[in-house]
A and B are shown apart, each in its own frame.
Chain A
Amino acid sequence: TQLLEQSPQFLSIQEGENLTVYCNSSSVFSSLQWYRQEPGEGPVLLVTVVTGGEVKKLKRLTFQFGDARKDSSLHITAAQPGDTGLYLCAGALTGNQFYFGTGTSLTVIP
């Protein structure tokens, strides 16, 4: 059983559409990160959120950390084929030990 559950697990959308990925847990995290991973490569950090209720924007990506620091969401506006990849959330419980979510595989069709 993983600490962080992501939904949906798979998502296939047309270019230009919007989407939201959710990351949920019953545990409280000191910080939460979102990563994007391409096949055969390591995950690349997109954002870190630390404060409950925090919202961060990175171009067309909007990240939100839940008020109770148990959940997070990633919203992509006007998705592009270059957004295709595996999106992973990861939370830190104590210290610097991180646990990953179950992952969301996104495919954006041109």
Chain B
Amino acid sequence: GAVVSQHPSRVICKSGTSVKIECRSLDFQATTMFWYRQFPKKSLMLMATSNEGSKATYEQGVEKDKFLINHASLTLSTLTVTSAHPEDSSFYICSVSSGHEQYFGPGTRLTVT
């Protein structure tokens, strides 16, 4: 399966600042990557589909101006949480898909103080 990395693994930021999370596909060229959000002991909620070279597709209820996604190459997608607030604190996970399967990064724990 594909190997996916995320950076950083943990980040703490102050309310009002912006945070960028990187998702890299290390051994697979991904035209599409996915971003999920997960609250403690809850399932993953799909936030958006990141498309290489074009605009991301956001799920209903996800603010595209708050969660900026850039997919500039076949191996890198970034998620920027703008003007972060404590309620944005969560576990953010990206994935790449290959056929019927998808492979996940290790996740990024964001804490907004």
Question: Which residues of A line the B interface, CB within 8 A?
Answer: 2, 6, 30-31, 33, 35, 40-45, 48, 50, 86, 88, 90, 92, 96-103, 105
Contact = CB atoms under 8 A, between A and B. Distances in A.
B104 interface: yes
A99 B46 contact: yes
12 contacts: A30-B100, A31-B100, A40-B107, A41-B106, A45-B1, A88-B43, A96-B97, A98-B34, A99-B46, A100-B45, A102-B42, A105-B41
Given A40-B109, A45-B1, A96-B32, A103 B43 contact: yes
Size bracket of the B interface: 20 to 34
A106 B36 CA distance: 22
A2 B107 CA distance: 21
Given A86-B41, A88-B44, A103-B43, A97 B34 contact: yes
A43 B43 CA distance: 10
Which applies to chain B's interface (DSSP): helix, strand, loop or mixed? strand
A25 B110 CA distance: 31
B100 A48 contact: yes
Contacts of B44: 43, 88, 90, 100
Interface of B: 1, 4, 32, 34, 36, 41-46, 49, 91, 93, 95, 97, 99-107, 109
A46 to B, nearest CB: 11
B106 A50 contact: no
B97 A42 contact: no
Given A97-B49, A100-B46, A43 B104 contact: yes
B43 A101 contact: yes
Contacts of A6: 43
Nearest to B44: A100
